[in-house]
Amino acid sequence: MKIYQIREMSTDEIKKRILEEEINLVDLRFQLELKNLTNTSKIRNTRKDISKMKTILKEREIQEEKKSKENK
């Protein structure tokens, strides 16, 4: 997933997607242990997607804090 796609999503959508991806990551790890996973790069890509989404959430949180401080 590209960063611009994540930025277009709402905060709630990102949170839901993070949960889905974390569940997917657990499934991928099980598949890897059971030798059913052929493309091991999926694990890496899923971890990166989760971190990108968490980064965007943190950026939005920081922006909200700045706005609230400026309004006081």
* Contact in structure between 1 and 52 (CB atoms under 8 Å): yes
Domains of the chain: 3-71 (1.10.287.310)
Q: Where does 3-57 show beta strands of DSSP type E?
A: none
Is the whole-model pTM more than 0.85?
Answer: yes
For residue range 8-33, list pLDDT tens digits in order. 999 999 999 999 999 999 999 999 99
Q: Give 34-65 pLDDT, tens digit per residue.
A: 999 999 999 999 999 999 999 999 999 999 99
